[in-house]
């Protein structure tokens, strides 16, 4: 019932290929996803259904906008005083007998986790969902060191068995249909072929995990909120897997980005009310677990990770994206995300917020992502901490053009448009020429080199331009 070493190695390699695929950009990967029309429709409808649940939950609270504003201001305060809150948090962690580690980047984070495992002579670890460890590629790093990592969140475990990265930060396997999961369980866990009943598959997964929970000495969790005032961390799950893992293990390692801080315990109320309503439309997560100190004879570690965050903090136009509480509401409402799938973003955190965070880590590698948006603003409208997401995407585009990372075709196209639209006479001549070509040589436009034509019929050219019509009619 457990993974083989062989399988784990393939797993690491395949995941790396998907996540570090630099030869394909978002548009090309989205095109691949779009080949399966049925999947796109279903993905689109499912995420829209979740968006509607979010709307219902938000509208059910009269003070929703006040909650958003308060949470946004609390996070603004955190970002303005981050170093002070981090020092306070560290002092309180130490006072609670928690061992504190600081990691400047992903490599250091991975080395720290590995050193803790080595210290305890452990080569098997369980992990509850943590997007930070996805960002740092911890699983792949540990698997190379022959450490077995089992993800205990059901969705995460499914994508782990399928040798894929998560495609969504809250719903990691949302791109998979239940029949595919049934087939996967059949191949990997030996369930009867053709059985994709969700209740049955969940019971099998529970059985499969039980051995993991009972035998692993180290449990790693993510962190949703870190309270500076008390030195406690809060982890939100719907499955209780973080609690189960930590309570049965001797060592708890909690890994968090440095922006997860909130100043006071009483602030939790605002964030917990916003988080799950925004994520899935639930009033609250099934488990909001507080971890403050190790039990007698046990160990608790907190790893505080920068990995580009302090650089991001220094960028005035982009710093407030560090307020993100990873609810994924911006994913579920984004017309591009829901029709292109999470893997098309080729980064751990996909969607609109991922398209802001990733270019900070590597501008060249993620230069395509700020363009994966219609800039419709729906993401900013639903964000529970009021991040101006679409404005920041637009600002990244300007940076990319200035730095010379915009795609050459787009750059040439934009320069052409700028030249044409800046001069009425050039615009007039171009319009005339365009209409003539559309009428007399349609094959020049109606071919596969024209991306617009691939999906749509080209319009009939009008007999005259608006300017001509206006000139004629104004004289009357
Ligand atoms: S940017 Fe806002 S909406 Fe998107 S995941 Fe973060 S908190 Fe949620």
pLDDT digits (tens, 9 = 90+) for 25-65: 899 999 999 999 999 999 999 999 999 999 999 999 999 99
pLDDT digits (tens, 9 = 90+) for 306-348: 999 999 999 999 999 999 999 999 999 999 999 999 999 999 9
Residue nearest to atom 6 of ligand 1 (CA): 324
Mean pLDDT of 383-394: 98
Give yes or no for residue 3 having a pLDDT over 80.
no
Residues touching ligand 1 (Cβ under 6 Å) are 278, 324-330, 353, 382-385, 387, 389
Residue with structure tokens 């969504």?
168
pLDDT digits (tens, 9 = 90+) for 242-284: 998 999 999 999 999 999 999 999 999 999 999 999 999 999 9
Residue 426 Cα to ligand 1 midpoint, Å, equals 44
**Residue 119: burial class (beta carbons within 10 Å; 0-12, 13-18, 19+):** exposed
Q: Which residue has the higher pLDDT, 447 or 167?
A: 167
pLDDT at 24: 67
Mean pLDDT of 87-96: 98
Mean pLDDT of 75-103: 98
235 CB-near residues (< 8 Å, 6+ apart): 128, 221, 222, 223, 224, 242, 243, 254, 287, 288, 289, 291
pLDDT at 476: 62
Residue 29 Cα to ligand 1 midpoint, Å, equals 23
Atom index in ligand 1 nearest the CA of residue 327 equals 8
Give yes or no for residue 22 having a pLDDT over 90.
no
Mean pLDDT across the chain, nearest whole number? Answer: 91
pLDDT digits (tens, 9 = 90+) for 220-238: 999 999 999 999 999 999 9
Give yes or no for residue 12 having a pLDDT over 50.
no
Q: How far is CA 268 from CA 41, 132, 271, 273, 275, in A?
A: 37, 21, 5, 8, 10
DSSP 192: P
Residue 349 Cα to ligand 1 midpoint, Å, equals 11
pLDDT at 16: 47
Mean pLDDT of 449-467: 84
pLDDT digits (tens, 9 = 90+) for 339-360: 999 999 999 999 999 999 999 9
DSSP 23: S
- What pLDDT band is residue 18 in, cutting at 50, 70 and 90? very low
**Residue 198: burial class (beta carbons within 10 Å; 0-12, 13-18, 19+):** exposed
Express as a percent the part of the chain with pLDDT over 70: 95
Q: Which residue has the higher pLDDT, 450 or 319?
A: 319
Mean pLDDT of 91-111: 98
Express as a percent the part of the chain with pLDDT over 90: 80
Q: How far apart are CA 51 and CA 45, in angstroms?
A: 10
Residue 355 Cα to ligand 1 midpoint, Å, equals 12
Q: Where are the alpha helices (DSSP H) in 20-60?
A: 26-34, 37-59
Residues shown for the chain: 476
Mean pLDDT of 7-19: 43
- What pLDDT band is residue 160 in, cutting at 50, 70 and 90? very high
Q: How far is CA 407 from CA 88, 135, 416, in A?
A: 45, 25, 14
């Amino acid at each position: 019932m457990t993974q083989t070493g062989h399988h784990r190695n393939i797993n690491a390699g395949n995941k790396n290929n998907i996540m570090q695929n630099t030869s394909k950009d978002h548009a090309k990967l989205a095109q691949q996803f779009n080949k399966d029309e049925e999947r796109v429709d279903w993905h689109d409808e499912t995420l829209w259904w979740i968006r509607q649940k979010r709307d219902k939950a938000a509208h059910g609270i009269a003070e929703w906008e006040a909650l958003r504003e308060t949470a946004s201001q609390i996070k603004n305060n955190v970002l303005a005083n981050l170093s002070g809150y981090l020092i306070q948090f560290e002092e309180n962690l130490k006072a609670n007998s928690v061992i504190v580690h600081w990691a400047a980047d992903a490599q250091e984070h991975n080395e720290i986790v590995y050193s803790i495992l080595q210290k305890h002579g452990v080569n098997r670890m369980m992990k509850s969902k943590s997007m930070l460890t996805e960002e740092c590629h911890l699983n792949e790093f540990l698997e190379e060191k022959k450490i077995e990592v089992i993800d205990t969140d059901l969705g995460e475990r499914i994508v782990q068995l399928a040798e894929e990265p998560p495609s969504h930060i809250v719903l990691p396997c949302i791109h998979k249909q239940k029949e595919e999961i049934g087939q996967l369980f059949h191949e990997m866990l030996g369930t009867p072929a053709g059985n994709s009943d969700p209740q049955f598959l969940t019971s099998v997964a529970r059985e499969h995990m039980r051995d993991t929970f009972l035998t692993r000495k180290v449990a790693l969790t993510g962190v949703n909120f870190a309270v500076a005032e008390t030195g406690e961390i809060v982890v939100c799950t719907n499955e209780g897997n973080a609690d189960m893992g930590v309570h049965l293990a001797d060592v708890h390692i909690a890994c968090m980005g440095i922006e997860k801080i909130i100043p006071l315990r009483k602030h939790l109320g605002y964030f917990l009310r916003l988080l799950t309503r925004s994520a899935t439309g639930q009033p609250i997560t099934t488990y909001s677990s507080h971890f403050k100190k190790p039990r007698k004879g046990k160990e608790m570690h907190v790893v505080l990770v920068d990995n580009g965050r302090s650089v991001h903090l220094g960028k005035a136009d982009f710093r407030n994206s560090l307020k993100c509480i990873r609810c994924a509401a911006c994913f579920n409402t984004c017309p591009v995300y829901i029709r292109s799938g999470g893997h098309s973003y080729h980064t751990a955190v996909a969607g609109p917020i991922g398209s802001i965070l990733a270019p900070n880590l590597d501008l060249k590698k993620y230069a395509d992502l700020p363009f994966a948006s219609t800039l419709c603003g729906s993401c900013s409208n639903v964000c529970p901490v009021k991040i101006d997401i679409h404005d920041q995407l637009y600002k990244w585009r300007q940076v990319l053009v200035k730095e010379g990372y915009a795609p050459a075709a787009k750059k040439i196209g934009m320069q052409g448009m700028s030249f044409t639209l800046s001069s009425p006479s050039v615009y007039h001549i171009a319009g005339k020429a365009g209409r003539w070509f559309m009428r007399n040589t349609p094959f020049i436009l109606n071919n596969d080199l024209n991306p617009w034509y691939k999906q749509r019929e080209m319009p009939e050219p009008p007999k005259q331009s608006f300017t001509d019509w206006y000139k004629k009619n104004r004289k009357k």
